[in-house]
Amino acid sequence: MALLAGHGCGSGSVDIGSADAGSGKISGRVTVFAAASLTEPFGRIGEAFEAAHPGTDVVFNFAGSTTLAQQLNEGAPADVFASADPIPMRRVADAGVNAVDPTTFARNRLVIAVPAGNPQGVTRLSDLAASGVTVALCVEQVPCGRAAAQALASAGVELAPATLERDVKAVLAKLELGEVDAALVYRSDVRSSARVAGVEFPESAGAINEYPISVLAKAPNPRAAAAFVAHVLSGAGMSVLADAGFEAP
Amino acid sequence: MTVAAAHEIKTGHSSPARKRRDLTVRRRTPLVTLLPALIGLAYLVLPLAGLVIRAPWATLPERLVAPEVLMALWLSVQTATIATIACLFLGVPLAWLLARSSFRGRQLVRALVTVPMVLPPVVGGVALLLVFGRRGIVGSWLDSAFRITLPFSTAAVVMAQVFVALPFLVIAVEGTLRGADTRYEEAASSLGASRWTTFRRVTLPLIAPGVAAGAVLSWARALGEFGATITFAGNFPGRTQTMPVAVYLALETDVDAAIVLSLVLLVVAVGILASLRERWLSSGATA
């Protein structure tokens, strides 16, 4: 964790700090569409941002990145989009409704999430294929499901999941409720929940998600949006993300 | 007043039938109510029209027979039908209890029965998880005693559907029971029929139309169930992915697929309305 934090502070802030530096007072509402996995760190970053810029009000819409891209393409008004992998961001760009200029701000890797104490003694990906182990995954259309499919394929493990959930927080909820024995979620999700523990596995290296963030061209509040993105990419933002289990870009 | 007077003069010499028709034609709707009424109508119809307009008509036939669509449709039809049968077995006796017996707290029971109608379905799903989930009050016992786990199974889909659809059947059947003439039942029992025979041979045939209408409503509600299903039964193609869940997930990647699935559900809904037209579309047709 200390190592991750050190990484986070080093990079990131260099190229962006200048974009916001010296600009006048910003105010008003900033609407941020962010991947469900960003719920905790972005919540904290939003509070810090509001404290640093009195008169601003950060409003979040957390959901699966693909759902958010869909909502943006249908005209949902937003200032900032932070996606859990580049595909939804590209989909927003391709739809032509809203231009984006994405910067990668974090990386996240999958872990095997198990109930605290790991009662089934899961140590490897292949343990999930054992009979009697109920597993929840993200549906393959969303980034966490795509990463899970990649990791499982590279490990040569075939799973029979009990359910394919619409976003990573829904997967985590099923584990926290005790309805499944294990789940593939991001390392940051495990960090955010006291009731689950994470088991790292080597195949996750082949399925690391890169998180892009961008101000949207049709942002109702472009200056505040740029300031928010700059805040995420600043040293302070990076250390919050590192604390939450994200890796530096 | 002057309008009414002019009306009387104009229609004074018409035949009674003619007179009635004229009256309905000439009863003017004030503009104040007409405008909101038209906006209201447009608000209800436009989204449905949008679905039809944006549908990918060119690729519609092949999309309709896509394996995942057929799988979701078939699962929905199966589960909704099983749920309706379960509703009939549980709901008709419950409606009878509410309509024909008097006991303390009957009003409370009726209120409890209708709660799922106004409760957000996703709350129902959470509640079902807390009771029938692996750690739930009943679920943990089922798990340890019989090795039965309900969440993420097709049975869980049916349970979620019964939870939301049962009130519709109970309310429909109870209303019919209250409207039915109890003298037939009294006559039957005075002629020596047992209570069960009376119920089976007299009451049930008497209320059959109401039961049928309630069953159709329940089936429609079960078919459209989403919130409780995705919460309690999750999502897995062929096992728990019903049509509404498929619509929701298709939106993530393929809007056209979502529209096609929605169109199918719209056609089913219109079909249901058509089947119930006697009861619901002609207002006040039955006394």
> Which DSSP string corresponds to A6-64?
HHHHHSSHHHHHHHHTT-----EEEEEEEEGGGHHHHHHHHHHHHHHSTTEEEEEEEE-
Confidence tier at B280 by pLDDT (50, 70, 90): low
Who contacts A49 (Cβ-Cβ below 8 Å, separation ≥6)? Answer: A30, A56, A58, A227, A228, A231
Complex ipTM above 0.95?
Answer: no
Residue bearing the bigger pLDDT, B1 or B180: B180
d(CA B98, CA B118): 19
Confidence tier at A224 by pLDDT (50, 70, 90): very high
Residue B169 is part of which domain span?
A: 81-279
Confidence tier at B134 by pLDDT (50, 70, 90): confident
Helix axes A39-52, A222-233, angle to 10 degrees: 120
For residue B151, what is the domain's CATH number? 1.10.3720.10
Q: What is the pLDDT of residue A12?
A: 36
Total number of domains in chain B: 1
d(CA A47, CA B135): 36
Who contacts B10 (Cβ-Cβ below 8 Å, separation ≥6)? Answer: B22
Who contacts A140 (Cβ-Cβ below 8 Å, separation ≥6)? Answer: A146, A148, A149, A164
Residue pair A211/A186 in contact by the 8 Å Cβ criterion: no
Who contacts B177 (Cβ-Cβ below 8 Å, separation ≥6)? Answer: B95, B96, B99, B100, B203, B207, B210
Residue pair B163/B124 in contact by the 8 Å Cβ criterion: yes
**CA triple A28-A34-A39, angle to 5 deg:** 100
Domains of chain A, residue spans:
2-107+210-243, 110-207
Task: Find chain A residues with C-beta within 8 A of B149's C-beta.
Answer: 134
Please indicate, yes or no, if residue B259 is contained in any of the structural domains: yes
pLDDT in tens, B20-74: 555 555 567 788 888 999 999 999 999 999 888 888 888 888 888 888 888 999 9
Query: Counting every residue, how long is chain B?
Result: 287
Q: What is the pLDDT of residue B20?
A: 52
B52-58 — which CB contacts under 8 Å span 24+ positions? B52/B263, B52/B266, B54/B259, B55/B259, B55/B260, B55/B263, B56/B256, B56/B259, B56/B260
The model's pTM is 0.76
Q: Give yes or no for A70 touching B (CB within 8 A).
A: yes
Q: State both tokens at A21.
A: 């530096």
Q: What is the pLDDT of residue A107?
A: 92
SS3 A161: coil
Contact A166 B234 (CB under 8 A): no
Give which of B149, B154, B249 to mutate to test A binding, by max A Cβ within 10 Å. Answer: B249
Q: Give yes or no for B154 touching A (CB within 8 A).
A: no
Q: Give yes or no for A35 touching B (CB within 8 A).
A: no
**Shortest CA gap B134–chain A (Å):** 6
pLDDT in tens, B217-256: 999 999 999 999 999 998 988 899 999 999 888 877 777 8
What class, spelled out in words, does domain A2-107+210-243 have in CATH? alpha beta
Please indicate, yes or no, if residue B43 is contained in any of the structural domains: no
Residue pair A143/A209 in contact by the 8 Å Cβ criterion: yes
Residue of chain B nearest A136, judged by CA positions: B234
**Range A110-207 classified under CATH 3.40.190.10:** yes
In this model, does residue B4 exceed pLDDT 50? no
Q: Give yes or no for A51 touching B (CB within 8 A).
A: no
Residue pair B251/A88 in contact by the 8 Å Cβ criterion: no
Please indicate, yes or no, if residue B64 is contained in any of the structural domains: no
Among A106-115, B7-16, B244-253, name the most confident range. Answer: A106-115
Task: Tell me the CB-side half-sphere exposure of residue A4, using CA atoms within 13 A.
Answer: 18
Q: Give yes or no for A71 touching B (CB within 8 A).
A: no
A178: nearest CB among B134, B236, B248: B134
Confidence tier at B13 by pLDDT (50, 70, 90): very low
**Shortest CA gap A136–chain B (Å):** 9
Q: Give yes or no for B41 touching A (CB within 8 A).
A: no
Please indicate, yes or no, if residue B67 is contained in any of the structural domains: no
Contact A164 B134 (CB under 8 A): no
DSSP structure string for A167-188: SHHHHHHHHHTTS-SEEEEEHH
Q: Give yes or no for B253 touching A (CB within 8 A).
A: yes
Q: Give yes or no for B116 touching A (CB within 8 A).
A: no
Q: What is the pLDDT of residue B243?
A: 92
Contact B251 A70 (CB under 8 A): yes
Contact B149 A134 (CB under 8 A): yes
Residue bearing the bigger pLDDT, B138 or B68: B138
Contact A139 B248 (CB under 8 A): no
Q: Which residues of A, range 130-149, sit inside 8 Å of B by Cβ?
A: 134, 136, 139, 141-142
Contact B152 A179 (CB under 8 A): yes
Q: How many helices (H) and strands (E) does chain A have?
A: 10, 10
Residue pair A106/A203 in contact by the 8 Å Cβ criterion: no
Give which of A163, A165, A180, A181 to mutate to test B binding, by max B Cβ within 10 Å. Answer: A163
Who contacts B35 (Cβ-Cβ below 8 Å, separation ≥6)? Answer: none
Please indicate, yes or no, if residue B1 is contained in any of the structural domains: no
Q: Which residue has the tokens 């209201």?
A: B40
Q: What is the pLDDT of residue A26?
A: 86
Task: Tell me the CB-side half-sphere exposure of residue B225, using CA atoms within 13 A.
Answer: 42
**Shortest CA gap B37–chain A (Å):** 28
pLDDT in tens, A122-161: 999 999 998 889 999 999 888 889 899 999 998 899 998 9
Q: State both tokens at B201.
A: 């041979």
**Shortest CA gap B231–chain A (Å):** 9
Please indicate, yes or no, if residue B13 is contained in any of the structural domains: no
Q: State both tokens at B212.
A: 């049928």
